[in-house]
Amino acid sequence: MPVAAVWAAILALRHALYDWGVLPSRRGALPTVVIGNVELGGTGKTPHVLDVAHRLQGLLGTGAVGILSRGYGRNTTGFLWVKDAETWRDSGDEPWMMQSREPSVAVAVCEDRLQGLERMASARPALRVVVLDDGMQHRALRPDVLVGLVGRPDAHTWQSLIPAGPLRDLPSRLKRCDHLVDTSGHHPQCSWASRTASAPPQRWAQGSSDEGASLRKPALLVTGISRPGRALEGAQQHAEVVAHAFYPDHHAFTQADVTHWLAWMKEAGISSLVTTEKDAVRLRPFEHALKGVDVWVLPLNLVWHTEARVQAFLESWTQTLPSQSKPPQ
Find the DSSP H helices in 29-112.
45-60, 88-91, 93-101
- Domains in the chain with CATH codes: 26-196+303-318 (3.40.50), 200-298 (3.40.50)
- CA 178 to CA 147: how far, in whole Å? 6
pLDDT digits (tens, 9 = 90+) for 206-264: 444 455 566 778 999 999 988 888 888 888 888 889 999 999 988 999 999 999 999 99
Residue 280: phi, psi to the nearest 5? -60, -30
pLDDT digits (tens, 9 = 90+) for 14-68: 999 999 999 999 999 999 999 999 988 767 899 999 999 999 999 999 999 999 9
pLDDT digits (tens, 9 = 90+) for 122-159: 999 999 999 998 888 999 999 999 999 998 877 678 78
pLDDT at 227: 80
Alpha-carbon 189 to chain mean position? 24
Q: For strand 80-81 and strand 106-109, is the pairing parallel, antiparallel, or unpaired?
A: antiparallel
Sheet containing 129-133: order of strands: 80-81, 106-109, 65-69, 129-133, 32-36, 145-150, 179-182, 192-198, 300-304
Question: Which of 66, 85, 67 minimizes the C-alpha distance to 76?
Answer: 85
Q: What angle in degrees, to the nearest 10, is found between the helix axes of 45-60 and 307-318? A: 50
Helix (H, G, I), strand (E, B) or coil at 93: helix
- CA 131 to CA 176: how far, in whole Å? 18
Helix (H, G, I), strand (E, B) or coil at 71: coil
